[in-house]
Every structure is written in C-alpha cells, then in structure tokens.
Amino acid sequence: MIETRNGTLFLDGCDTTKLAQKYGTPLYIYSQTAIEERFAELRRDFVERWPGARVAYAAKSFFCLGMARLVAEAGMCLDVVSGGELRTALAAGFPAERIEFNGNNKLPGELELAIENSVGRMIIDGAHELEDIESICRAKGKRMKVLYRVTPGVKADSHDYIVTGKKDSKFGFPLDEDVIYPAVEAAIRSPYVDFLGFHFHIGSQLFKNEPYLQATDAILELVRHVKACYGVEVRELNLGGGFGIAYNDEEERKPYRYYLDPMMERIAACFDEMGLLRPALVVEPGRSIAGDAAITLYTIGSIKEIKGLRKYVSVDGGMTDNIRPALYQAVYRGVLANKASQPAEEIVTVCGKCCESGDIIIKDAKLPKAERGDLLAVFSTGAYGYTMASNYNSIPVPAVVLVRNGRDECLVQRQTWEQMTACQRIPDSLKGE
Ligand code: LLP
C-alpha cells in the first residue's frame, strides 16, 4: 500500500505530496484497501472458521461517520463505549443490532439511548449496571442481551496505561466468588435481560498469546461453574481486542491466527467435553485494523541545531494529533514524503509545535537532510491518533482523508477556529463598555 514512485511517497495509489497541497497539513491519510484487507483476514481466519463468530471493530481506535460505513459494509459489528460513538454509528446508518456497548461508567442517558435503539449487546461492567438496565427496560418494554465483563487477573505485557486484565482495574468484575456469582445469578433470574456469557479485554498492543490463553482458562472455569450451579449454558464469549502492530523495526505484527487459533481450540475442547453447544465467539480489535492503515503528513518548519547535542526538526502538528509518544513513550517511524528515495543521512528529533518539551513525535529519526517545507510522513498513526486528538494550544484537529487505488475523499474536514471557539461565551460581566 505504501510505495515510492519517482522519489515521492504514495499511499494506496495516491501521491501524498499532492494530498498535502489539496487538503493542507497536518493530515491523516487512511488507506481503504489496508482496512479492507484486515477485515478480509479476520473474515477468512476467524469468522468463517467458527460458526457464529463475529468481529466488533473497536470504534475508539478510529471512528467517524465514514468509518462507520466502512465497518458496516464489511459486515462487521461495532464496539462502542459512549453515547457519542453510539450516535455517530446510528447517524451513519449502522445497524443497531450489530452494536455492542462497553464502558465502565455508562451514564443514564447513554444507557437509555442504547436500549431505546435496541443495540445488540450490553457488556455489563459493574455492580449497579444490571439494575440500571433493568429499570430502563421495564420503562421502555425492552429486553436486552447482556454479557459480563470480567478481569481474569492476568498481567499482559504492555504499557501500564493500556493493560486492563489485572484484578486491580477499573474495568469489569473481579473473579471473586462473592462478587461475580451473585451478579451472574441476578442476570439469569432477570426478566429484562438475556444472559449470554462473558467478556474480557486484557490489554492493548499485545504480542504474546499466553495472557489470552490464561484469560481463556479463567473464563472457561466460570463457564463450568455457571453450568454446574445454575444449569445455565454460556452461549457467547467475547475475547476483546489488543492484538499488537509494528510501529517500529523492533516490533513485529503477528497474524490474527496466532492469537485466535489456540483460544478457539481451548474453548472448543472445553465445551465439547462438557457436552455443551459451542458458544458464539466475538473479538474486538481496533488498533490492528486501523493502526497501520494510516499515515500522518506534516510540513517541516523550524529546524534548530543544538551543537554537539541534537537537531530539532519541528512539524506543524504534534501531541495534539498524536499523544501516544508523550503518553506511552510510543516509538514511531517516518520518512520525508517528498524525498522518499533519498538515503537517510542524519539523526534528528522530530518535535511538534506545542508548548511542551515532551511534545516529541520521533526521538531519533533517521532522515535525509530535512529542509523547511519538506513533508514528513509518520507511519502507523491510524489508531488512537485522530480519536485522541486535542485542541491544546488552540490547535485545530487535522483533516482526515480516505484513499483507495488512486482516489481521495474527505472523511473529516479540518477543524476551523470558529468551530473550536463555537461553545465559548464572553460573560456579560466581562463584556466591558
Ligand atoms: N475492547 C475493549 C473493551 C477495549 O477496552 C479496547 C481498547 C479494545 C477492545 C480495542 O483494543 P485494540 O485492539 O485497539 O488494542 N489509547 C491507547 C489504547 C487504549 C485501548 C483501550 N481499549 C493507545 O493509544 O495505545
């Protein structure tokens, strides 16, 4: 998808330097082909190999109206975590029954919106949520399908901020007998919900299947217990997302099968042994679909050499469009899009334009000699970039473009100053004469 033609960087058949002229920079550019290939891999290696299997794309990684259409057209389901994501999906015409609603503190208004629209699954995350769902269902004459999110108590290997399967977590139910079993029993007995099974998501940007297998073993234990104590068969298991991608030369993306095959085998063996019907399986990948489908394009401005120390190359965006280096010490790769065939000849620090020393996009980038006006492309910025963008320093959120086989279309327009300040008011007391 990414190639060099006549010294210029192309993505999905589009000249990135022309895109910079047309849309301005900073610019997020998504390859539709790359996204579709990930969906195809999931369809071939998971959905078609396990009856009833589904993929619920994690909207938090990258989402907008156009992305909702792409997910819908690929026949996938959607994992949302807020009323905003849910509204975006519904506004794009995404089928509500294919939406799964996650989140550790779903607000009353969000629950109402989800139930009113009959979303496909509610993933219950805490003790009071079942009662909240029941009272809304009672008032609206609805019945919801529910799963319980549990924290299987495994420690996955990733940045502390994106590890979620530990017992000490704000997400899900710990597997303490006096916590999880009464909760399950309440759901089984409730006339307002249909209890389907369990959900876990142990963390993000993971490269080993071992913690997934440990988590699988922990919920299979739960499955056995629920059958033995309540005579109820678990019909669905949601295995979360978290599959890692390569941001730099140190990391290597693994195929979905590396994670999913051993989990499927273990689940099949357990259900077969118990003589139960195999459950529907769901995964919720986000980053591994959107992450390396996009690049961010910046224009280089100020260049500053601190003799004997470091050369700073500043770009026209930064932590406002990619917070990940500052927040998780994420390491990215980049090239000069207009000098893509030139050999790297210097090591520079690519920094953003925010008033923060930590606003560094790439610490030691190996680049051809960079000059003002050159275009820098940073790779694999498709996940948790646009969706985590901020207006720090009153910097507008960049535009987002979708490219496919030489065609470019706008997904999101660049934010304007008027839009950034639209909610601001000068109080009467400060209006002056
Ligand atoms: N399902 C649940 C319940 C989740 O909490 C998440 C991510 C996913 C699925 C999707 O995980 P993925 O396949 O994208 O790894 N902002 C951080 C990542 C936070 C992930 C939060 N939950 C980052 O930029 O690395």
Ligand 1, atom 3: closest residue by C-alpha? 201
What is the Cα–Cα distance from 62 to 386, expressed in whole angstroms? Answer: 7
The whole-number pLDDT of residue 322 equals 98
267 CB-near residues (< 8 Å, 6+ apart)? 216, 220, 237, 278, 279, 281
Indicate yes or no: pTM above 0.85. Answer: yes
What is the Cα–Cα distance from 61 to 388, expressed in whole angstroms? Answer: 9
The residues that bridge with 312 in the sheet, in sequence order, are 304, 349
CA nearest 320: which of 284, 346, 356? 356
Q: Kindly give the number of the ligand 1 atom that is closest to the alpha carbon of 241.
A: 13
What is the Cα–Cα distance from 304 to 194, expressed in whole angstroms? Answer: 62
pLDDT confidence tier of residue 338, bands split at 50, 70 and 90: very high
Determine the average pLDDT of the residues in 281-290.
98
Ligand 1, atom 6: closest residue by C-alpha? 241
Whether the CB-CB separation of 108 and 127 falls below 8 Å is answered with no
Whether the CB-CB separation of 9 and 335 falls below 8 Å is answered with yes
Report the catalytic residues. Answer: 355
* pLDDT tens by residue, 349-386: 999 999 999 999 999 999 999 999 999 999 999 999 99
31 CB-near residues (< 8 Å, 6+ apart)? 1, 11, 12, 293, 294, 403, 404
Whether the CB-CB separation of 86 and 114 falls below 8 Å is answered with yes
pLDDT confidence tier of residue 155, bands split at 50, 70 and 90: confident
385 CB-near residues (< 8 Å, 6+ apart)? 28, 62, 294, 296, 321, 322, 324
Determine the average pLDDT of the residues in 202-229.
96
CA nearest 298: which of 6, 28, 40? 28
Whether the CB-CB separation of 406 and 48 falls below 8 Å is answered with no
Give me ligand 1 centre to Cα 202, in Å: 9
The whole-number pLDDT of residue 94 equals 98
The whole-number pLDDT of residue 127 equals 87
Give me ligand 1 centre to Cα 172, in Å: 14
Whether the CB-CB separation of 148 and 225 falls below 8 Å is answered with no
pLDDT at residue 158 greater than cutoff 80: no
Q: Kindly give the number of the ligand 1 atom that is closest to the alpha carbon of 287.
A: 14
The whole-number pLDDT of residue 160 equals 73
Which of 61, 292, 390 best tests ligand 1's pocket when mutated (most atoms within 8 Å of CB)? 61
Which of 77, 124, 284 best tests ligand 1's pocket when mutated (most atoms within 8 Å of CB)? 284
Packing angle of the helix pair 83-91, 65-73 (nearest 10 deg) = 70
* pLDDT tens by residue, 18-38: 999 999 999 999 999 999 999
The whole-number pLDDT of residue 240 equals 98
Q: Do domains 2-29+292-415 and 63-285 have the same CATH topology?
A: no
In percent, the amount of the chain with pLDDT more than 90 equals: 93
CA nearest 369: which of 350, 343, 331, 332? 343
Whether the CB-CB separation of 129 and 151 falls below 8 Å is answered with no
CA nearest 194: which of 281, 104, 299, 120? 120
Residues lining ligand 1, judged by CB closer than 6 Å?
58, 60-61, 79, 102, 162, 201, 204-205, 240-243, 284-288, 324, 328, 383-384
pLDDT confidence tier of residue 65, bands split at 50, 70 and 90: very high
User: What top-level class would CATH report for the domain 63-285?
Assistant: alpha beta
Give me ligand 1 centre to Cα 292, in Å: 15
For the chain, give the mean pLDDT.
Answer: 96
What is the Cα–Cα distance from 224 to 274, expressed in whole angstroms? Answer: 8
Domain extents in the chain: 2-29+292-415, 63-285
Strand pairing category for 54-58 and 280-283:
parallel
Residue 308, classified by CB atoms within 10 Å of its CB into exposed (0-12), middle (13-18) or buried (19+), is exposed
* Fold entry, domain 2-29+292-415: Lyase, Ornithine Decarboxylase; Chain A, domain 1 (2.40.37)
pLDDT confidence tier of residue 157, bands split at 50, 70 and 90: confident
pLDDT at residue 167 greater than cutoff 90: no
Determine the average pLDDT of the residues in 105-110.
97
pLDDT at residue 403 greater than cutoff 90: yes
The whole-number pLDDT of residue 169 equals 83
